[in-house]
Amino acid sequence: MALTREQMAMRVARELEDGFYVNLGIGIPTLVANYVPDDIDVMLQSENGLLGMGRFPTEEEVDPDMINAGKQTVTARPGAAIFSSAESFAMIRGGHVDLTVLGAFEVDQNGNIASWMIPGKLIKGMGGAMDLVAGAENIICTMTHASKHGESKLLASCNLPLTGAGCINRVLTDLAYLEIEDGAFVLKERAPGVSVEEIQEKTAGKLIVPDHVPEMVFAD
């Protein structure tokens, strides 16, 4: 079975380390805030000017003035800071973010990413992605492995205009966790019940498959 959005966020949360400053992009990455391990201390950043983002609020906690970059209401953890988006982007461009988690339309085997939004849709333009991929060295890209038409999003070369070149080193899809090394996708883990053959079939770029590819395990 393919991973749910929540399971993808849970898997990304395992990559968080104590003391990290982490930028969460729009979409699946925002869900990571709900799954930060209790035994580590991280500061989640939203590009609109919030450092110290907490989990999503309950009905009683909703504050319409407290939102993330995707216009979703969020909470703030103790020690949080609110500042202008200009200062937020200065933090991003200055390389002060330890980990960036963002979505994409396409990623290729050379670490290129295409994440421009489609004109006329709800979200327009590339948002902060161009700054994030240029200012961060540690990036996890979350996406579906294939389009709704079954076309692979993990390519030999991106078809869409690039948001960044040679900047992506890790990809988590609804089918697998992969790392990009030496011009190829390296399969590290697969979603529970998903076969290596299915991942191979839906990966258009060069894919290296180790002798053993473990299944991801999620607690009940």
The per-residue pLDDT for range 136-160, each reduced to its tens digit, is 678 999 999 999 999 999 999 999 8
Q: Say what the pTM is.
A: 0.90
DSSP-based three-state secondary structure for 1: coil
Per-residue pLDDT, 108: 97
- Is residue 175 within 8 A of residue 152, CB to CB? The reply is no
pLDDT in the model for residue 137: 74
CA dist., res. 155 & res. 180, Å (int): 12
**Which string of DSSP letters, residue by residue, matches 147-208?**
-TTS-BSEESS-SSPPSBSS---EEEESSEEEEEETTEEEEEEE-TT--HHHHHHT--S-EE
Nearest to 122 by CA among 161, 75, 166, 71: 71
Tokens standing for 96? 């002060």
Question: pLDDT at position 25, please?
Answer: 86
Residues classed as catalytic: 47
Question: Which three-class secondary structure state does DSSP give residue 143?
Answer: strand
Low-confidence ranges of the chain (pLDDT < 70): 117-136, 220
The confidence score (pLDDT) of residue 71 equals 85
Q: How many CB atoms lie within 10 A of CB 199?
A: 22
What does the pLDDT read at residue 69?
A: 79
CB 67 within 8 A of CB 73: yes
